[in-house]
Each structure stands twice: as structure tokens, then as C-alpha cells.
Amino acid sequence: MELPMDFKSNKCTIIGSCNGLVCLTDDDYGFSGRVIYVFNPLLQKFKCIIGSSYCCNRLNHEYTRVHVGFWYDDTKSDYKLIRIMHFRKGGLLSYDKEQSLVEVYSLNTRSWRKINYAKVSGIIECSYQHVFVDGTLNGLAGYSRKSEVMIEFILSFDCRSYVFREVELPSYQEHHLCPLVPNLEVYKGCLALFVALGCDEDRTAIWSLWLMKEFGVAET
């Protein structure tokens, strides 16, 4: 399908979809999350969303990582976005100078709201797509490390209370010597972790599935 919007990188990535609407942004690391589009593929119409003036100024002058989530608020009949931004004033390797900013956008009011970001300071979020389940947006995350990024927990955002929490991951690493990067999905209405373990002798992919039947409790 040919898209009616322009992307600076000439590539796009899907952030998420709700009720037939698709949320898109640039696929290039340097442009991702700067400009966001909510697109109706049936009508071929879209809404272009940029950040607040404060946010845009910092995005243009500092090294930044941006992560975006998209969901439908059924209590207010509103589509919303969350944008998590991590700024490093000294550049790529300035871990000790990192600051965070979080904004939530409402399509009804066409405005951004800055929210408490204490829980996300110092976090490198590894997953670009978030999973919506039980009124929360969830992504795999880990804290900043100078050598490498380790996935340590699920960063969960409550879409009603606008509060972040860390959800413990199942101990899948104890069962396998060299698991690959896991994928977070929804399976049978529950948050699920799919872990690629490699291939067998016939080159058939082997996967491990962990299902969280009670949200927030890793043991379930």
C-alpha cells in the first residue's frame, strides 16, 4: 500500500494499531518518534502529530532516544500516545548526564501533557513496539550500561493512572544457556514472552513461551 505521508528516512515502522487506525513513525533511529502519524488506511487520511515546543527544541539539539506507544482510552473515547524521551547532553556515551521526559498526547484535545517520569530515568527501552493488555502498555527494558544493554524487566505504563511500574521477567535465562532476545506479545488475553532458543538439527526454530496469567506476577 502506498502511504500518503512523507517520512524523512523514506521508511516507516508501525508503533501499534487500534480499531482500524495505525500509528506510524520514521524507521530511522535519528528520526523515529519525532513526527508521529495516526493513519486510517480505509479512508487514506492521517493526522500528523509533533511534540511540544520544549520537546522539539531538545530533540533537535541533544542526543536522544525516543520510544512511542499508542492505545485507545475506552473510558473517554479517545486515542492517545505516549512518548518517552531520553536526552544525553554530552552525546552518545554521556550516561551520567542522562535526563528523561515523558509526554502523553490526546487526539480529542489535540494537546500534550507532561507526566511524572521518575521510573524511567536511566532506562534504555529495547522494544520499539509496545503491547497493550489489561489497560497497560508494556515494553521490554533495561537500565543504561556503559558496555551493553541487558533486558532486565518489563516497563509497564498504566494508561488510566499514568503511573509506571517495573514488572519482573520470568527466569527464562536459567533454563537455557544462550537464549536470544525475547518478544513481548499478547496470547489468549495474557501478556506473553516468546524466547527464541535457536534451531534443531533440521533447522526448525525452537521457541519457549512464558504466559503471565496474573498480570504483574512473574511466577504465573
In three-state secondary structure terms, 21 is strand
pLDDT surpasses 50 at 156: yes
Q: What's the whole-number average pLDDT of the chain?
A: 78
Our CA angle for 198, 125, 9, nearest 5°, is 90
pLDDT of residue 203: 66
pLDDT surpasses 50 at 93: no
Cell, residue 106 = 490526546
15-29, 106-120, 168-182, range with the lowest pLDDT: 168-182
Instruction: Calculate mean pLDDT across residues 5-33.
Output: 82
Q: What are the respective helix, strand and coil percentages of the chain, to the nearest 5?
A: 10, 50, 45
List of long-range contacts for 132-136, beta carbons under 8 Å, 24+ apart: 132/16, 132/18, 132/71, 132/159, 132/186, 133/186, 133/189, 133/190, 133/191, 133/215, 134/191, 134/215, 135/159, 135/160, 136/215
Q: What percent of the chain has pLDDT over 70?
A: 66
Query: Rounded distance, CA 126 to CA 128, Å?
Result: 7
pTM for the model stands at 0.79
Specify the higher pLDDT residue, 108 or 2. 108
Query: Rounded distance, CA 67 to CA 59, Å?
Result: 13
Query: Rounded distance, CA 103 to CA 111, Å?
Result: 10
In the sheet with 63-73, reading across from the earlier edge strand, the strands are 63-73, 78-88, 98-106, 111-114
pLDDT surpasses 60 at 62: no
Torsion angle defined by CA atoms of residues 207, 179, 130 and 53, in that order, rounded to the nearest 10 degrees: -160
Q: Residue with C-alpha cell 487520511? A: 45
Instruction: Calculate mean pLDDT across residues 121-149.
Output: 73
